[in-house]
């Protein structure tokens, strides 16, 4: 069955389920707007959909994002915009095949007022038209696909995280300055990997850097990186830029060390390479890896210190950029729901446009004109502190 007919079948089934709910007298107590695009009366509770990977290589990222969102709720009596939240969590899985139907169910069947989450760029790209046409707000709390806040931007789609091109472009000039020879580019073979490499290459080459080779590894399927590490060694590259996240980041960095490249060929990447649970699993293998990201647990600000302590108490582990993005998404929804003149999509997106600066653990940030996060990117280097590997903040990137 083609993608379009699968989408319409899913929507038809969801519509039938909705009709059955309405006939039985249920399903109208939470959201009187009935999922319409504009206006929409308010009710006491507000139902929010949280779409995160609970399975697949990005499951640890989904877990962190959920924990960040829930921490904000816990700190605010379970309320957003002064209203009790009914949070419906759905599994994004490993890509659009699972993520798109799960989001459609949240909107059509669960009748959520907005959906937050989405880790994978391919899922975000697959969801864009559905949310645009449904006039339902989607707050992307990770997926960095450039077009989402670029060529395919929508009034109904907002991003509290980053765009792939921005986070990698931030690192290019710094690497061009530090590395005298060629740099090998390696990444997971899907939208995010391609865009991370393209963003890095653009500013790296503009700053005089030379590319020694480029390779994409099958996403979600590569566990043995040896053939790619051999290609890197044979290229004679003086350094490597990599994009991997979650379970793939763990394997890549550990095998980079086992293969004998660590210490000889400096490894750079976007911060997802050495973040959170991935860094804990990599341990000493990650020491010396330098990355660009808009967050580190080591940021020395009162807002971050308070956040790290609260998160560690609740989750029993240090926070990650994914947790911060989840936390900030809840904060943005809190402000927008408080300011919106109704639960309809148009009322909520108008309020999202008035959220202003967010005082976040990452530092202050705000939405730009394309609904993307405008923020500071940091240069980080993995060091050991008290026997634990951490992403020390080396400086701010231009």
Provide the binding-site residues for ligand BEZ, judged by CB under 6 A: 119-121, 142-144, 164, 192, 245, 272
- To ligand BEZ, the closest distance from the beta carbon of 142 in angstroms equals 6
- To ligand BEZ, the closest distance from the beta carbon of 218 in angstroms equals 15
Q: 115 vs 119, which CB is nearer to ligand BEZ?
A: 119
- To ligand BEZ, the closest distance from the beta carbon of 26 in angstroms equals 36
Comparing CA positions, the residue from 124, 117, 169 lying closest to residue 144 is 124
Task: Provide φ and ψ at 209, rounded to 5°.
Answer: -75, 155
- To ligand BEZ, the closest distance from the beta carbon of 46 in angstroms equals 27
Give every strand in the sheet of 267-270, ordered side by side.
210-218, 182-189, 239-243, 267-270, 290-293, 377-385, 388-397
Is 18:108 a contact under the CB 8 Å cutoff?
yes
Q: 120 vs 251, which CB is nearer to ligand BEZ?
A: 120
How remote is the C-alpha of 87 from its chain's centroid?
Answer: 19
Q: 192 vs 286, which CB is nearer to ligand BEZ?
A: 192
Is 378:270 a contact under the CB 8 Å cutoff?
no
- To ligand BEZ, the closest distance from the beta carbon of 292 in angstroms equals 12
- To ligand BEZ, the closest distance from the beta carbon of 378 in angstroms equals 16
Task: Provide φ and ψ at 381, rounded to 5°.
Answer: -135, 135
- To ligand BEZ, the closest distance from the beta carbon of 160 in angstroms equals 13
Comparing CA positions, the residue from 133, 62, 52, 139 lying closest to residue 330 is 139
Task: Provide φ and ψ at 2, rounded to 5°.
Answer: -70, 165
Give CA–CA dist 185/202, Å, rounded: 12
For the chain, give percent helix, strand, coil, nearest 5.
Answer: 45, 20, 35
Q: 110 vs 142, which CB is nearer to ligand BEZ?
A: 142
- To ligand BEZ, the closest distance from the beta carbon of 175 in angstroms equals 19
Q: 104 vs 120, which CB is nearer to ligand BEZ?
A: 120
Q: 217 vs 235, which CB is nearer to ligand BEZ?
A: 217
Q: 71 vs 192, which CB is nearer to ligand BEZ?
A: 192
- DSSP annotation of 130 reads H
- DSSP annotation of 179 reads -
Token digits for 255?
Answer: 């095998």
Residue with tokens 């690497």: 175
Q: 144 vs 318, which CB is nearer to ligand BEZ?
A: 144
Give CA–CA dist 40/47, Å, rounded: 14
């Amino acid at each position: 069955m083609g993608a379009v007919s699968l989408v319409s079948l899913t929507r038809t089934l969801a519509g039938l389920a909705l009709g059955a709910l309405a006939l039985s007298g249920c399903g109208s107590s939470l959201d009187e707007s009935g999922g319409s695009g504009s206006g929409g009366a308010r009710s006491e509770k507000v139902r929010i959909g949280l779409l995160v990977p609970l399975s697949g290589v990005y499951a640890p990222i989904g877990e962190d994002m959920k924990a960040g969102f829930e921490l904000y709720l816990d700190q605010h009596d379970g309320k957003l915009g002064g209203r009790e939240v009914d949070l419906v969590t759905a599994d994004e899985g490993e890509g659009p095949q699972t993520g798109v139907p799960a989001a459609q169910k949240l909107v059509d069947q669960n009748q959520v007022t907005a959906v937050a989450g989405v880790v994978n760029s391919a899922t975000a790209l697959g969801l864009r038209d559905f949310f645009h046409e449904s006039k339902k707000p989607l707050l992307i709390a990770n997926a960095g696909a450039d077009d989402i806040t670029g060529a395919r931007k929508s009034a109904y789609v907002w991003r509290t995280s980053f765009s792939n091109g921005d986070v990698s472009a931030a690192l290019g000039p710094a690497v061009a300055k530090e590395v005298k020879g060629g740099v090998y580019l390696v990444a997971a073979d899907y939208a995010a990997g391609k865009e991370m490499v393209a963003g890095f290459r653009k500013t790296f080459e503009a700053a005089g850097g030379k590319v020694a080779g480029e390779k994409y590894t099958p996403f979600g399927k590569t566990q043995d990186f040896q053939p790619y590490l051999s290609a890197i060694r044979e290229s004679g590259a003086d350094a490597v830029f990599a994009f991997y996240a979650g379970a793939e980041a763990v394997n890549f960095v550990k095998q980079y060390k086992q293969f004998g490249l660590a210490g000889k060929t400096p490894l750079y990447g976007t911060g997802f390479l050495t973040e959170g649970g991935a860094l804990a699993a990599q341990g000493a293998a990650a020491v010396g890896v330098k990355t660009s990201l808009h967050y580190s647990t080591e940021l020395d600000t009162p807002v971050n210190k308070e956040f790290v302590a609260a998160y560690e108490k609740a989750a029993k582990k240090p926070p990650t950029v994914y947790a911060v993005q989840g936390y900030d998404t809840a904060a943005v929804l809190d402000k927008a729901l408080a300011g919106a003149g109704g639960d309809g999509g148009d009322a909520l997106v108008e309020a999202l446009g008035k959220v202003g600066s967010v005082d976040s653990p990452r530092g202050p940030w705000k939405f730009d004109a394309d609904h993307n996060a405008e923020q500071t990117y940091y240069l980080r280097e993995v060091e050991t502190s008290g026997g634990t590997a951490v992403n020390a903040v080396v400086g701010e990137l231009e």
